Structure 1
Amino acid sequence: MKQQFLHENWEMRQIGNDEFLPAAVPGSVYGDLLSNGKMENPFWKDNENDACELMEEDYEYVSHFDCEDGLLDSDRVVLRFDGIDTVGDVYLNEIHLGSPLSMHRVWEYDVKEILHDKDNELKVILHSPNKWIREAFKKCRTLGNDDTFEGFVHLRKAHYMFGWDWGAHLPDAGIFRPVSLLGINTARIDSVYIKQTHERTGETEPGTVRPITKSVTLTFDVEQEVVGNAERGPKLKNITGGHTCKKCGKAYTYTVEITAPDGSKTLYENSPVEVKIDDPKLWWPNGYGEQNLYEVKVTLFSDGVALDEWTRRIGLRTMTMHIEKDEWGECFAHQVNGVDVFAMGADYIPEDNLLGRVNPETTRKLLEKAKFANYNAIRVWGGGYYPSDWFYDICDEMGLMVWQDFMFACAVYELTPEFEANIRQEFIENVKRLRHHASLGLWCGNNEMEQFVFERNSWLTKPSEVKDYFLMFERIIPEIVHEYDPQTFYWPASPSSGGCLDEPNDPNRGDVHYWKVWHGNRPFTEYRKYFFRYLSEFGFQAFPSVKTIEQFTDNEEDMNPFSYIMEKHQRQYSANGKIMGYMQQTYKYPNSFPTFVYASQLLQADGIRYGVEHFRRNRGRCMGAVYWQLNDCWPVISWSSVDYCGRLKALHYYAKRFFAPLMISCEEQGMMSSEANMNREHFVFEKSIRLNVANETMQDQNVTVRWALRDPGAAVLESGEQELTVPALTSTWLDKVEFPDADIFSHYVSYELICDGKVVSEGTVNFSYPKYFRYEDPELTCRVEGDEIVVSAKAYAKSVEILNENEDLVLEDNYFDLNANEKRVKVISGSTENLRLRSVYDIR
């Protein structure tokens, strides 16, 4: 099959304007207007308003091209758009081909009879999405998320573009994925589905709990699309094992070539139905084993002539959700190769409001940060769009299990015949596109619809919307997943207990979205009251770095939490006040805006740490902690741990520690866990610690735990040490230690975990609120030695931050505690000139 990409010689214009501008394809309207100086940076101050107005207009994209030699000699020529966003009309040589109405689909048109050898004109009209959804809403007042424009539910376009409580109203449009001509002779491969059957020995690898797999049998299901006659068009045929057409007599066969992780190749001829791989190299999530990938190439032949190739990388693994009744209710855990895995990661939203800026390099940089923080899982949230193939390729390489939502979120939908036909094709195409990926952990129907729409009766306007919900998420999608990807688990919604409106946020079954901390204003210790089976959303907001804030304002007056511009880049109403409320509970009033930013990031980091450490201490009962959210799509105050500019908030460094495979944590009892008024007569609380070691590795670990009660100068007042063995994939509690005579304002506890002679995890806890602790000035200093920064403190220093001038330093560790000692930190990237340090002592 021949392929000619049509990415050159594009121009665009606003309809009604005669001036054509150079355009980038793949790309977007906003990207082209920006590069041509026809709009201001939409992220700057409140330029979002003007940018949104630009999408009240229609835009025209035009390209002229010649056909490559031999293309028109093909039996069939297809014009293929891998992604058009999204209300469009497509013309080739002034012939109208169709009207794309979904950015979640591929659009193809037969064009052999329309094409010329030379000087073809391809034109795409992109209509205003704003006008389209307004008209749709007038006809059908279906409701959804209040942060978005009315009518967004009717258009198969990424919902976040119309606004969210972290996202701007920037409904970009464009030809955002490749466009090409395909020259097809006789037939092409439509799809290849590979089922896996694993034969295990019943034994485990020496010294581990990792099961041994003797062999993996791959079963191939190969479908081809045969060029049909003019009246009937192309036809799909399953040719698994080979096929001879009774009408034309053509014999269709295929070969399978498999390249193992070590580079060795094996060719299987004669249309194999099954291929057996002995002594397989398995794929494992990050932290549990290697991410071995096999390349599979299927070549389609007709009477000995090669017609088409299908090449993908797969991982040899089994992956499902382990759901079984137990003493607490019903477990819900990723099970990979027979091993229950504790999911650790975050929710992923689209990387940018301007689609043309997202590419394999930007995605790789982001996902590298996820692996840096010891993620093994990532949830693709349902209000965006299905990521490009490279996203999943990178997840395969990095061992990130993907929880994949279908693209529905926080709304109800009108299931008209036209809408149903549109989404059915969307589901089929995306399931077939993504099902081979080793990282694909499960399919999920939607985000928060079962919980909010039906448990809380949000957005419902008529009974038919309930019927349509059940049809979409408990019939249509599961039927399609069962037909096209039967070996991947399907879950109807997030959160859910399994569907049928059966207590969708039940803490003892399924997955949970927990927001009493943050939305409910509950203290961080509230997490300890719950033992959820799997958290797929929970979070806390923080400001991005000052340098990122400078991406949307340069005015000192704007750098105030309650200024117009700052709240324009804070999409949850009153959230900056919520941050201040939690800050009042925890820290002294910051004396500058940069200090406020620092304090907000510590609040976020500690809030999520309280939750994750608690849930990891209860491994087995809880089997997932996926926080909201990994990234941003524009510079904004949000729940992300990596801001829009790629800078790491304190939370991301905390995540590296609380997602570490081997981790020590402390369940302290003190002022923060008492929830009492300190001014009341009988404000009495326990002062104690109980340490826990979580071992999310495949081996038993022999470790040493040390703790010390210290004064503000970090002098040791009391200490303890214990050696223990922590079994693989468990957490182990140590005995409680009480400190009845400790001074809550001047005594704190440090603790550390030693394995193979190295400190692999450590931390400190206070018995008072941090704002009341009588810190001494740690007189922080640092020096640079090669690729390391050596930080020194003369007293207890809590949450030591190391920044460079551009605030883009990436370090092996940051926001750590020092006990009047020094710490060597490896520099991963960024300049080490003009370093500055601070700790909680400086929040004053």
Structure 2
Amino acid sequence: MITQSLNGIWRMRRVGDDGFQEAVVPGTVYTDLLRNGQMEDPFFKDNEQKALKLMDEDYEYVTEFPCGGGLSACDRVLLHFDGIDTLADIYLNGVHLGDACNMHRIWEFEVKQLLRPEKNELRVVLHSPTKYIAEAFKVSQTHGSEDAMDGFVNIRKAHCMFGWDWGAHLPDAGLFRPVTLLGIDEARLESVYIRQEHGADAVTLHFEVEASGGGCGKADARGLHYEAETDGGGCGKADAQGLHYEVTVTAPDGTKITAAGSPGKLVIENPQLWWPNGYGEQNLYTVEVALYAGAEACGDQMEHQTQPRAKKLDVWERRIGLRTMTVHREKDQWGESFAFQVNGIDIFAMGADYIPEDHLLGRVTPQTTRTLLEKAKWANFNCIRVWGGGYYPEDWFYDICDELGLVVWQDFMFACALYDLTPEFEANIRAEFIDNIKRLRHHASLGLWCGNNEMEQFVFERNEWLTKPQEVRDYFLMYERIIPEILQKYDPQTFYWPASPSSGGSLDFPQDPDRGDVHYWEVWHGNKPFTEYRKYFFRFVSEFGFQSFPAMKTIEQISDDPSDYNIFSYVMEKHQRNGSANGKIMNYMQQTYRYPSDFRTVLYASQLLQADAIRYGVEHFRRNRGRCMGAVYWQLNDCWPVASWSSVDYCGRLKALHYYAGRFFAPLLLSCEEQGLMTSGKDLNREHFTFEKSIRLNVANETREEAVVTVRYALRNPKAEILRSGEEKVMVPALTSVWLDKVEFPDADIYTEYISYELEKDGEILSDGTVNFSYPKYFRYEDPELTYRLIGDEIEVSAKAYAKSVEILNEEENLLLSDNYFDMNAGTKRVKILGGEPVGIRLRSVYDIK
């Protein structure tokens, strides 16, 4: 197959304008207008409102190109769009080819008869999404999230573009993925599906190869499906003996296995398995399937063929990982298990939910995605959930997840809404499913497909958005019939889950704590204390979160006016989409810390609240490994500068939570379940007030090897001097957690004494922390007099007293450190500089929240 890229410099204009301006494809309307100075930064102050009005217009993209590279000699030529956002009419040399109506689909048009040797004009008219949904809502008043614009459910476009409780109203448009001409000579490879059969010392790859040339579909006995033209056009020469394929598999070490003659299967001896991050190597094999016409090569699959080759028509090349992956569900003493099972081992999923990386999709690149996902791996993630209110990410997203060992929980793109399943809508989403299943099914990282986000819970458990009985019928048809049927045909080896949260479908108590996955929001939305997590032993938590503000330097991207630097200012609340959330943060802050005296301290304290809230949950869930097998917090990233639940803000700056995640997702984790003032739930001023003061340590071992570790604890005063201590050697079997005995401190002064703890293995401290018996605001910290010095690529921090949550910032607040927001028991601690320049270093701790 011959390909000719049509990417690069195009021209664009608003329909009705006289002049064109330069545009870049792949790209979007907003990114082009912004680049050309035709709009203001939509993220700055309240420019979002001006940007939204721009989407009431239609936009036209035009390019001219020659028909080169042998395309004119091909049997067929297709104009191929990998992604159009979203409503478009396509014209070639003045002829209307057709329209597009779904940003989640691939679009192709036959163009051979319209092409000229030179000066072909391709024109794409993108229609207003805002006008479309307004009109559609008048016809079909189907409801969904109140944070999004009315009618958003009536268009197959990323829902969050129309607003969310962390997202702006910025429904961009564009040719956001590549545009290509495909020259097909006789036939092309439509798809390749590889099923894996794992034995004791070998993996058998079963190939299902589909090729097409146009016309009617046929299949031969070897599993090669093809379409042969019957009316004299296209690949009429192909017959059951005329098309065949050859497979070449290249192992991670470079060795190759080749099988000719359209093999139905190929055996890999002594396979190098793919494992999630933390459990083994991410070995990837390259598979090449080459389609041929003419005389068929034959011979043993383990030998290279020496006879002359037939005509090569097309090549499909991808990387795969040899692994088994499913979700293990089995009745047990607590209900029913729910765990990713990889190569026969149940793993504890640790990660976060991923949303679109930018409201302006033209700014998302392989490098931006790699940088973000590498930060996830750095924080010991082994799992990423792709949330259903965005769009199916680019191929490179999954390639990077394959390389980094991040198991992908993949939602289909439906979230917090109901849909009118008309025949047209069904045909549209069926094509969407097939396109994306075929595109993604080969990835080693693909862990499961999930039907939707929160619809079983909100719509049917809470009776939200439901307006007519037909919507219940349509729900069951979409998620419990149509999607499973399509997956059974196109990807039967990947586990399917009907909704998140769910106990397995059928509207059967979707938030059951003893089955399936849950979204737990009582801490945050329910205003419950952090210790509330300890009341629950969920099987898998796929959403739970707590908000914070981003870094000061990120906030400076939305306003350069110091009068806006107040969390209740107009500009700050325009960048806070969760209603009363700023007040909620301050409510939790009142419970935990002293009232911050300046804006920057509010930002710092909010990040500590967020980090501790999620830490309480994750540590509890990991202490109960086996019963709970997943902690995926909401959310990893942002799509614009905003107050949100993210651990990495829009500018890529790590919040305290992300550093905490690196610790609470560590393969070997020592955590402490303390009992004290905060866990008692009693009024400090109540007469005769008594409560337990104790600790119970736990070691969680999320590795495939037994660990022998030394665990230490100490009761200390504000100077970090040890008043009482203990030490124990502990053997922790692989993939388990082990409790140590409770230790009580009935005489401890909760205002002047605290607990430190650490885990040592082979002479290295791998996990440590501190806990208070009182709220941090009541503890009588002494000034730690924090200082630092630079030693090569390290920063050495010194403290003269107990320092809680030590923050290291540079001038640009973009340092990436091996650790940050850590506790110090006086003394020194060194951290490695992984990114950013150590200029203008500032230090602070909880002592400075006042």
- Normalized against structure 1, the TM-score is what? 0.97
Q: 1:39: which partner in 2?
A: 39
User: Per-residue CA shift, 1:615-660, capped at 9, x if unaligned?
Assistant: 0000000000000000000000000000000000000000000000
User: Per-residue CA shift, 1:7-66, capped at 9, x if unaligned?
Assistant: 234100001111100000000000010011110000000000000000000000011111
Distance 1:70 1:280 in 2: 41
Contact 1:450 1:493 in 2 (8 A): yes
Letter in 1 for 2:60: E
Pick one of 730, 743, 748 that aligns with 1:742.
748
Using the aligned pairs only, state the percent identity. Answer: 70
Distance 2:220 2:800 in 1: 73
Deviation at 1:69, TM superposition (A): 3.2
User: Per-residue CA shift, 1:727-768, capped at 9, x if unaligned?
Assistant: 000000000000000000000000000001110000000000
Alignment of 1:254 with 2:245, yes or no, is yes
Distance 1:511 1:317 in 2: 23
Q: Output the aligned Cα RMSD.
A: 1.1
Q: 1:833: which partner in 2?
A: 839
Distance 1:237 1:408 in 2: 35
Distance 2:651 2:746 in 1: 47
Alignment of 1:628 with 2:634, yes or no, is yes
Q: 1:215: which partner in 2?
A: 202
Alignment of 1:383 with 2:370, yes or no, is no
Contact 1:617 1:693 in 2 (8 A): yes
Contact 2:809 2:841 in 1 (8 A): yes
Letter in 2 for 1:414: D
Change in CA separation of 1:240 and 1:21 when aligned onto 2, cut-off 3 Å: farther
Contact 2:192 2:208 in 1 (8 A): yes
Q: 2:211: which partner in 1?
A: 224
Change in CA separation of 1:239 and 1:781 when aligned onto 2, cut-off 3 Å: farther
Distance 1:99 1:671 in 2: 64
Pick one of 702, 708, 712 that aligns with 2:714.
708
Distance 2:16 2:96 in 1: 20
Alignment of 1:298 with 2:285, yes or no, is no
Contact 1:221 1:238 in 2 (8 A): no
Q: 1:530: which partner in 2?
A: 536
Count of matched residue pairs: 826
Q: 2:70: which partner in 1?
A: 70
Contact 1:42 1:51 in 2 (8 A): yes
Contact 2:8 2:26 in 1 (8 A): no
Q: 2:739: which partner in 1?
A: 733
Pick one of 526, 545, 550 that aligns with 1:544.
550
Distance 1:292 1:618 in 2: 30
Deviation at 1:99, TM superposition (A): 1.1
Letter in 2 for 1:34: L
- Normalized against structure 2, the TM-score is what? 0.96
Q: 1:288: which partner in 2?
A: 279
Q: 1:760: which partner in 2?
A: 766
Change in CA separation of 1:239 and 1:66 when aligned onto 2, cut-off 3 Å: farther
Deviation at 1:682, TM superposition (A): 3.4
Distance 2:383 2:410 in 1: 11
Distance 2:390 2:776 in 1: 39
Change in CA separation of 1:86 and 1:654 when aligned onto 2, cut-off 3 Å: same
Letter in 2 for 1:260: A
Q: 2:604: which partner in 1?
A: 598
Deviation at 1:226, TM superposition (A): 1.9
Letter in 2 for 1:273: G
Contact 1:322 1:340 in 2 (8 A): yes
Question: 3-state DSSP class of the match of 1:547?
Answer: helix
Deviation at 1:386, TM superposition (A): 0.2
Distance 1:790 1:455 in 2: 53
Contact 2:212 2:225 in 1 (8 A): no
Contact 1:9 1:65 in 2 (8 A): no
Spell out the pairing of 1:651-730 with structure 2 (5 A cutoff): 651-730=657-736
Alignment of 1:506 with 2:497, yes or no, is no
Of residues 450-459 and 259-268 in structure 1, the stretch that sits farther from structure 2 once superposed is 259-268
Contact 1:224 1:238 in 2 (8 A): no
Distance 1:478 1:589 in 2: 53
Spell out the pairing of 1:103-122 with structure 2 (5 A cutoff): 103-122=103-122
Contact 1:707 1:749 in 2 (8 A): yes
Question: 3-state DSSP class of the match of 1:313?
Answer: strand
User: Per-residue CA shift, 1:325-366, capped at 9, x if unaligned?
Assistant: 000000000000000000000000000000100010000000
Contact 2:380 2:661 in 1 (8 A): yes
Of residues 235-244 and 815-824 in structure 1, the stretch that sits farther from structure 2 once superposed is 235-244
Alignment of 1:520 with 2:511, yes or no, is no
Contact 2:480 2:505 in 1 (8 A): yes
Question: 3-state DSSP class of the match of 1:425?
Answer: helix
User: Per-residue CA shift, 1:702-743, capped at 9, x if unaligned?
Assistant: 000000000000000000000010000000000000000000
Change in CA separation of 1:239 and 1:4 when aligned onto 2, cut-off 3 Å: farther
Q: 2:303: which partner in 1?
A: none
In structure 1, stretches of 5+ residues that fail to align are 201-213, 229-233
Distance 2:273 2:832 in 1: 32
Q: 1:490: which partner in 2?
A: 496
Contact 2:184 2:213 in 1 (8 A): no
Question: 3-state DSSP class of the match of 1:441?
Answer: strand
In structure 2, stretches of 5+ residues that fail to align are 231-235, 295-309
Question: 3-state DSSP class of the match of 1:423?
Answer: helix
Pick one of 463, 474, 486 that aligns with 1:468.
474
Question: 3-state DSSP class of the match of 2:800?
Answer: coil
Contact 1:223 1:238 in 2 (8 A): no
Distance 1:235 1:281 in 2: 37
Deviation at 1:683, TM superposition (A): 2.4
Question: 3-state DSSP class of the match of 2:163?
Answer: strand
User: Per-residue CA shift, 1:580-637, capped at 9, x if unaligned?
Assistant: 0000000000011001100000000000000000000000000000000000000000
User: Per-residue CA shift, 1:49-100, capped at 9, x if unaligned?
Assistant: 0000000000000111111131111000000000000011000011001110
Letter in 1 for 2:114: I
Letter in 2 for 1:834: G
Deviation at 1:227, TM superposition (A): 3.4
Distance 2:247 2:432 in 1: 28
Alignment of 1:352 with 2:358, yes or no, is yes
Contact 1:79 1:110 in 2 (8 A): yes
Contact 1:241 1:270 in 2 (8 A): no
Change in CA separation of 1:109 and 1:709 when aligned onto 2, cut-off 3 Å: same
Spell out the pairing of 1:353-368 with structure 2 (5 A cutoff): 353-368=359-374
Q: 2:458: which partner in 1?
A: 452
Alignment of 1:196 with 2:202, yes or no, is no
Distance 2:399 2:219 in 1: 28
Deviation at 1:834, TM superposition (A): 1.4
Contact 1:196 1:216 in 2 (8 A): yes
Alignment of 1:161 with 2:152, yes or no, is no
Q: 1:178: which partner in 2?
A: 178
Contact 1:186 1:227 in 2 (8 A): no
Distance 1:136 1:243 in 2: 40
Q: 2:803: which partner in 1?
A: 797
Distance 1:798 1:8 in 2: 52
Letter in 2 for 1:226: G
Distance 2:584 2:220 in 1: 58
Distance 2:453 2:491 in 1: 21
Letter in 2 for 1:55: M
Deviation at 1:266, TM superposition (A): 1.7
Q: 1:86: which partner in 2?
A: 86
Contact 2:357 2:638 in 1 (8 A): yes
User: Per-residue CA shift, 1:751-800, capped at 9, x if unaligned?
Assistant: 00000111000000000000000000000000000011000100000000
Question: 3-state DSSP class of the match of 1:573?
Answer: coil
Deviation at 1:545, TM superposition (A): 0.2
Contact 1:5 1:180 in 2 (8 A): yes
Letter in 1 for 2:553: K
Contact 2:4 2:69 in 1 (8 A): no
Spell out the pairing of 1:539-618 with structure 2 (5 A cutoff): 539-618=545-624
Question: 3-state DSSP class of the match of 1:78?
Answer: strand
Distance 1:239 1:293 in 2: 30
Deviation at 1:242, TM superposition (A): 5.1
Deviation at 1:235, TM superposition (A): 4.3
Question: 3-state DSSP class of the match of 1:135?
Answer: helix
